[in-house]
């Protein structure tokens, strides 16, 4: 069986740490322990936490919910969980799940092409205000309008980019397989179970939540 990209990266990263330790006689024991702790998993959590902190500061203006937000890291393999519902009060992940990306402009299962262009069927990077609840013909038959707040996603509402689910999206990670293309024309599409949880959260929210798609 071929080693995964994650395994190769882990081996390479730890070998670099070990080489650095061997060639630097002034490296302290604590520095060595800290370097070893900086595995890919730790790097991922630091990135997510940094993004969540940035979003928390953005939501402090009083226009948006200061209780929770949704982050989507499109740099993560599509067969792994890359949507995270973040609890600002507890400073941790509430729920997480798989998330589809758009198939437009030559996007593949492995490589995403982002676009804000109408008719592109691409995912768009940026922050979105989650708007009103409406009917969807997919998944649990619920979708939420999305309003792009950045230049990179300003056409989201007119493109009918919405948050919704699809019954064919798995609850569990399917890595090393990718999510199949075709479920999304630019919408963040998730599993029915995750959508049910998010729907409950959004219905109870006193202010709009922010969804941030980044890479």
Statement: the pTM of the whole predicted model exceeds 0.75 = yes
Predicted pLDDT of residue 14: 46
Q: Is residue 32 classed exposed, middle or buried when 0-12, 13-18 and 19+ CB atoms within 10 A define those classes?
A: middle
Give the single-character DSSP code of 208.
Answer: P
pLDDT tens, position by position, 6-53? 444 444 444 444 444 344 545 566 655 555 455 677 788 899 999 999
pLDDT tens string 135-168: 999 999 999 999 999 999 999 999 999 999 999 9
Q: Which helix (H) or strand (E) holds 123?
A: none
Closest by CA to 98, choosing from 43, 180, 2, is 180
CB atoms within 10 A of CB 186: 30
CATH class given for the domain over 63-214:
mainly beta
- Taking only the tens place, the pLDDT of each residue in 143-152 is 999 999 999 9
Rounded to whole angstroms, the Cα distance separating 215 from 200 reads 27
Average pLDDT over residues 48-71: 96
Per-residue pLDDT band for 101 (boundaries 50, 70, 90) equals very high
pLDDT of residue 11: 46
pLDDT of residue 130: 98
Residue 161 to residue 172: CA distance in whole angstroms: 24
């Amino acid at each position: 069986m071929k080693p995964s990209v994650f395994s190769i990266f882990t081996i390479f990263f730890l070998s670099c740490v070990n080489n650095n330790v061997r060639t630097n006689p002034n490296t302290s024991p604590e520095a060595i322990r800290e370097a070893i702790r900086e595995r890919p998993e730790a790097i991922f959590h630091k990135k997510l936490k940094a993004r969540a902190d940035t979003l928390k500061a953005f939501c402090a203006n009083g226009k948006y919910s200061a209780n929770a937000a949704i982050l989507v890291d499109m740099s993560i393999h599509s067969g792994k969980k890359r949507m995270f519902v973040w609890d600002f009060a507890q400073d941790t992940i509430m729920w997480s799940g798989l998330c589809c990306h758009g198939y437009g402009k030559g996007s593949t299962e492995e490589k995403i092409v982002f676009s804000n262009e109408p008719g592109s069927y691409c995912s768009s990077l940026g922050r979105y205000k989650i708007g009103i609840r409406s009917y969807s013909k997919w998944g649990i038959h619920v979708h939420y309008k999305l309003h792009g707040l950045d230049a990179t996603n300003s056409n989201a509402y007119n493109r009918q980019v919405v948050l919704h689910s699809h019954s064919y999206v798995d609850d569990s990670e399917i890595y090393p397989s990718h999510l199949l293309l075709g479920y999304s024309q630019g919408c963040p599409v998730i599993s029915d179970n995750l959508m049910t949880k998010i729907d409950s959260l959004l219905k109870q929210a006193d202010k709009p939540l922010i969804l941030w798609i980044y890479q």
